[in-house]
Structure 1
Amino acid sequence: MRFIARTLAVLALAASTAAVAQGYPANPITLVVPFAAGSGTDAVARIVAKRLSERVKQPVLVDNKAGASAQIGAQYVAKAKPDGYTLFMTTNTSHSANPALFTNLKYDPIKDFTPVTRVGELPFALLVNAGFPARNLKELIEHAKANPGKLSYATPNSTSLVASETIKRIAGLNVVAIPYKSSPQALTDLVGGQVQMYVADLGSTMGMIKGGNVRAIAVTTRAPLKSMPGVPPVASEVPGFDLTSWNGIFGPAGMPRPIVDRLNTELLQVLAEKDVQDQLAQLGFEVWPSRDADEFAKYVADQLTHWTTLIKQAGIRPE
């Protein structure tokens, strides 16, 4: 009798889950972004949210919960109800780098989240302010070595931190890290000359680069980018350097699989639209979706291992 009762309970739960998924979404969806408005991830989120909203016939509202290197947003989503109405567009900062950067992280990037889909990659570039004397990376390295301890770089996220510290280590530079809460403020201070260097995502800086307010002297990818013609990779002067930032969407742990699959299907359709790809390309963003949630889950686990290694090699000690 107990076996029959358990079996009936399981069947009832499965039927209930399927019914919920069939009617999903019946309410607005919140897409949490752990970075400030104006950041590259925020820009990507707003493009994706708008088109997803049109497909599911419900508002998809972007909610910026910035601060603490994406920890505030991550903790919020990890504690949310896993019903598909609170989603998380985030990057390697929260899910790949933070576990190796912080000793008392209050969330687990694997156990506390349900992977939905990888969205793509947002390349970064090494920027200097318009008045900086170095015109390329070779001149920057020479200038930094001639002025040890006198240059500073902005670090509002883990990609900026790890990239800058890796360049420092390989090139043998003595430059000072200046932490920032958000990318827009870091960019403002770079333009104003308060800091001299900033490894920044192209999504939040492309306008400033094109306007001549800042100068891109290298990209962090191993190969040159079509969106940045004439700008060489960091690896041209710092052998072996190759770093980019992935972007993906999660929900809290325990989201019903039918809802995950529905979201994955809708998001893949969104990311396949040429108009969406063109808008994201304007940010320097490369669309690279996972086939399904399982592929994304494996990618997240692999990237956690990869970034842990990068951070240890850069000699960064956890806070």
Structure 2
Amino acid sequence: MMNKLLLRASAFLLALSAALPATAFPDRPLRFVVPNTAGSATDTLARTIAAYVQQKTGQSVVVENKAGANGIIATEFVAKSAADGYTVLIGNVTTNAANPSLYKKLPYDADKDFAPLSGLGRASQVMAVNNDVPARTVAEFIALAKANPSKYAFGSGGASARVASETFAQMAGVKMLHVPYKGNPLALNDLMAGQIQLFFPDMSSALPLIRGGKIRALAVTSGTRSSYLPDVPTLNESGLPGYEASVWFAAYAPAGTPADVVGALNRLIAEGVRSEPSVAFFRGIAMEPFPTTPDELRRFTRKEIDSWARAIKAAGIQPE
């Protein structure tokens, strides 16, 4: 009788152990690696999602900024990290879509070296000028730039701003100087100071400065007007038919991360994007929530890599 009870107990424990994961994930602190400077849209978004994940799991989430080299430093770091789910790239359109066409050789493969987790957010860009620039419309800026070839300088804190600017220059038929920066905040500071005259930041970075009168918005890059700047026309409306651009942010783990860990991270991050505090945060920075499944993000990323390759070629940008 005792042996039968022991056998039944053993069978029950085996069934229970099979139904439960051997170790709950995460069981130690996580690291969110950001390829941009503190204060950038990618950084503030990372910290918002990190706060949710930390509250939900009880594990601390360290946000680590590794800015520089157009996001390559941080992206390579994550690509070569242990595939255990504890190091996550808070990537963006630059790191995971544009860079493959901006460089002849990258130390990472934007598709094969990552396990997509979830989309985070999407936003349009703004064509913004320094307040001293005597142009109130896109047409007036184009006229100034044509009358003064290479006099006006545009900044880029990443691929999205550079491609937006180069596409504008190509479509408008103007010549401008390119000044690269390590991140949008630095470029915005120089735009306000008049060191550069034109910049195409994401809406979330630009909106507070536009509303505060620190810089002037001439147009938005989206296909339709933004509800955040309803009086600002699109570039398409402003004489550049077909012009459209946007930025996006997403989370990736190193390739080879176990499927159950990818699933756990997807649930945590997507839930964080949908949470009430995050939705309020998105609304406050003029960004749209963009939660996805891992498969949806993989398909989206591949499509974006192809789309940016065409845009970069059309803008006449030569790979470095």
Q: What TM-score do you get using the length of structure 2 for normalisation?
A: 0.91
Secondary structure of 1:42 counterpart: helix
Residue in 2 aligned with 1:147?
148
Give the 5 Å matches for 1:56-75.
Answer: 56-75=57-76
CA deviations on 1:159-210 (whole Å, 9 max, x unpaired) are 0111001011111011111111121111111011010000001222222112
Residue in 2 aligned with 1:312?
313
Alpha-carbon distance between aligned partners in 1 of 2:122 and 2:112, rounded to the nearest angstrom: 23
> Do 1:39 and 1:203's aligned partners in 2 also have CA atoms closer than 8 Å?
no
Residue in 1 aligned with 2:84?
83
Give the 5 Å matches for 1:1-319.
Answer: 19=21, 22-236=23-237, 237-290=239-292, 292-319=293-320
CA deviations on 1:110-155 (whole Å, 9 max, x unpaired) are 1111100111212211111122110121111111111111101001
Q: What is the aligned-residue RMSD (CA, Å)?
A: 1.4
CA deviations on 1:256-307 (whole Å, 9 max, x unpaired) are 11111111112222222233111112111111221x1111111111111111
Q: Which runs of 5+ in 2 are unaligned?
A: 1-16
Identity %: 36
Q: Which runs of 5+ in 1 are unaligned?
A: 1-14
> Do 2:126 and 2:217's aligned partners in 1 also have CA atoms closer than 8 Å?
yes
Measured after TM superposition, the shift of residue 77 of structure 1 is 0.2
> Do 1:47 and 1:280's aligned partners in 2 also have CA atoms closer than 8 Å?
no
Alpha-carbon distance between aligned partners in 2 of 1:72 and 1:101, rounded to the nearest angstrom: 15
Alpha-carbon distance between aligned partners in 2 of 1:138 and 1:42, rounded to the nearest angstrom: 34
> Do 1:39 and 1:204's aligned partners in 2 also have CA atoms closer than 8 Å?
yes
Amino acid aligned to 1:121: R
> Do 1:41 and 1:203's aligned partners in 2 also have CA atoms closer than 8 Å?
no
Number of corresponding residues: 302
Amino acid aligned to 2:228: S
Amino acid aligned to 1:280: F
Give the greater-gyration-radius structure (CA). Answer: 2
Alpha-carbon distance between aligned partners in 2 of 1:52 and 1:133, rounded to the nearest angstrom: 47
Amino acid aligned to 2:231: G
Alpha-carbon distance between aligned partners in 1 of 2:79 and 2:285, rounded to the nearest angstrom: 28
CA deviations on 1:67-99 (whole Å, 9 max, x unpaired) are 000000001001110111100111110111111
Q: What TM-score do you get using the length of structure 1 for normalisation?
A: 0.92
Alpha-carbon distance between aligned partners in 2 of 1:192 and 1:269, rounded to the nearest angstrom: 40
Alpha-carbon distance between aligned partners in 2 of 1:122 and 1:39, rounded to the nearest angstrom: 13
Amino acid aligned to 1:265: R
> Do 2:274 and 2:291's aligned partners in 1 also have CA atoms closer than 8 Å?
no
